[in-house]
A and B are shown apart, each in its own frame.
Chain A
């Protein structure tokens, strides 16, 4: 089992939830005015969040993770590679995971170069996640959502070539044109940095990830669907001629541990509720802009997601019931994670170690308990392959 401490680095200061509520339409994304951001507070937040990830690496996590989101209060890392670079200097042996670069939004040669730099700076410890970018980002960067998937694939192919094929070579594709691709530095990892794919579960992505033998990560999804998707992933791997390793399958989930179940729930509830009721909110048609989903998927996905991302109020109870959070004492949390591992077969667990308005003190306590009391209980745990739930 591998454990990666995932941080979203939010701007969840007092007043933000009210500011989000006052937007018309209600949103934490794209049009929430940046006058709500206090740079002086921000300096302290970045330092604090880096301290938390460093502490996680020192407390028993195998890796730390950051991600990319633009122009919002939910996550203040428009460039995750900058944060990963800071982490290469703070985190000395653990993996540094970028989950992920939204490669359709930018020049793929930039990403190839930056991740190669990070791999060399860290001595070969980078995990290079690639994502399409969620719908909101397509309103920030004027990229046609219809082109999202094709750009993702062309960008991915160019990046892998840049890492593995001797330069200079030229690339003239549908979306990107480079006369000379010849990246300096070249990455340390052979053949290239590990690639992980965070996803919301489309069948195309599941199959593509299995085909490339990358690591597949599921985030912010109800548990019963995670079961089905991991089963689909293993079937896809078989169809491509191999048995998927449990450490190719990951689950990212908000987690909070305290001394007792009661204390954990009391301490966690306001922050996880702020996360789901404020920080993740925005109009559904901004979340899924036109052309982002295939017409066949559009109705199904928007219907499913409207429950998660709508403005109806989530509570800790409802989120726990749906398997969208894990909260409790160390033993409770360890057992819940074991149950998920047994049902889904995942071998990589990525707790979001800090959530929304959660204080530094509570975040550090969460990290300490995860590292010292939960992870040791799970280190050698393995799902029984014969007992894995299979999707209907």
Chain B
């Protein structure tokens, strides 16, 4: 009975979510049609182009290295070789050597970036189609990468407009993720974490090999992870934990010297201590979010108007923002907790404005414990995905270096073949050997 009632709420939530997903695309379609000015499509301004560039540099890693190297090679190096005052070589030799640099840059850019792109796409495909436990640590099948989805959509619709492709990519990413979260919630709602723990404990004395083949045991262990705070830690939680520890030490140790502070921070930010703090932060976040959702749902059920809830939320938001400002000025570590609270309030305002009366029907359930379970399940999934995304990103960075090194013999060989031939064709006077010149 309980589960069927919850299933009903999921159906409402799912259809509402699908409507919300299409809201974004409708708005952008409206924007894009409005963006046609004088018959020509006007380009959207990049408000924060520098931040976008920095984000691209971080995401593309190896590509940005290749491009930066190529720019230096093609435009800067030739000047310092050809006009080097410290070199005793003749002008022709210096020019001949300097001209090699732009040729090298062009070959490197075309070959290495081409190969790097293929490598990254292959990794995206592996991560986005991971199944049967393979590539578990970079499993993004529940949140396929944008580049993988773009390839799939473009392959199916080769003539589709790029903007429409990206809209479909975002829609599909959201659909896949939220459907998975819904399915997992459906599956796990009836399970009691304490019962799971008790079951696992009861098997403690059994043979490890037997347990490794016991599907019930394996499933119970996996299900329990969804309710364990330690397993819910996401990368942002690690970051917040470390920041909080550092701020706490700096705030409490204002009389300490820089050296002492540094030593203290190093001692307190070991992997174990950061993990401990991250668990506390996760617990704090989960409970704050559950409380906010539960209280909003109860308020709406008891007849409170959405407008009143919004006014209350906005005044809370203002108060928290003032506290954050004060904490920033004093360097108080409490700023981390305040930012979490601000995030919860902002989400509440967003949901109230978007979903109105339906806010109460979403992701809450019948009891506070149900609401807590739902928040925990979502946190676990998002935490796991955040690690998978970052691991994939690091594999692209370091793997990209290995791939570039592997292509070096080819690019060197190609340069060695092309360089003298191009010089003979375009700069024959500089290329002629002294013997040929003297013979003439």
A and B associate = no
Interface, chain B (partner A; CB < 8 A): none
